[in-house]
Amino acid sequence: MLVRVWDAPTRLFHWALAFCFVGLVVTSQVGGMAMVWHFRFGYGVLTLLLFRMVWGLLGGHWSRFSTFVPSPSGLWRYLQGRGQAPECVGHNPLGALSVLAMLLFLFMQVASGLMSDDEIATAGPLVRLVSSSWVSNATYYHKDIGKLIVLGLVVLHLAAIAFHHFRKQENLVKPMITGDKSLASLAQGARDGWPERRRATLIFLLCAAAVSSAVIALNG
């Protein structure tokens, strides 16, 4: 039976984040005037991350952190091949850990970017508010360590999708487009009506306003 697992706000968040990530990678490689857009994509990612933090508390059933953050026992069962069906309706325990890691390291990448300075023409809005040692460390992390970690997590994410598709005959992409999963047993579906979507829109606009106000104040 088809069960609504991913609500529309979660799906839009996922694809918007993917779009911004590609934009960040491309603009970082182009450099020059493209760095203006690099920062804009970065602010977009920060807005999306703030939204996801709130939506992880107020969103659809399977989008909430309380439903997909695995317990140690649940993770151990899954690694032993004894995972229970309710634990894998949304993200399976291993996938949930990868999602949390992605959110954490994306936030660290954005935060370090706000404090980075290439000493040529581009500096983050927080550079003038922190010490030179913070700027130096943040720049090094952002350009070398953090970038490699995030790229590694993305590659791991894509590899997991391919593994599930070819080895387990499970399409993980389609549910993130349609929102629905075909399940053998009955499971609670996520609420995905217009009231939830209006609430998500309001939350996103508030997050965007908070980021925009902070950027304007820091650059002012």
Q: What is the fold, at CATH topology level, of the domain defined by 2-219?
A: Fumarate Reductase Cytochrome B subunit (1.20.950)
Which whole number is the average pLDDT over 49-75? 89
For the CA atoms of the chain, what is the radius of gyration? 19
Most confident of 65-69, 97-101, 165-169: 97-101
Confidence of residue 86 (pLDDT cuts 50, 70, 90): low
CA distance 21 to 106: 9
Mean pLDDT of all residues in 39-67:
95
Nearest of 130, 158, 124, 125 to residue 142 by alpha carbon: 124
Tokens of 123: 């500096």
What one-character DSSP code corresponds to residue 38? Answer: H
The whole-number pLDDT of residue 217 equals 93
pLDDT at 31 over 90: no
Mean pLDDT of 26-30: 94
Mean pLDDT of 107-120: 93
**CB-based contacts of 211: which residues, under 8 Å, 6+ apart?**
43, 46, 47, 50
- DSSP code for 71: P
Predicted structure pTM score: 0.93
Residues in the chain: 220
Is pLDDT at 51 greater than 80 in this prediction?
yes
- The pLDDT value recorded for residue 216 is 92
34 to 23, 38, 54: CA distances (angstroms)? 10, 6, 31
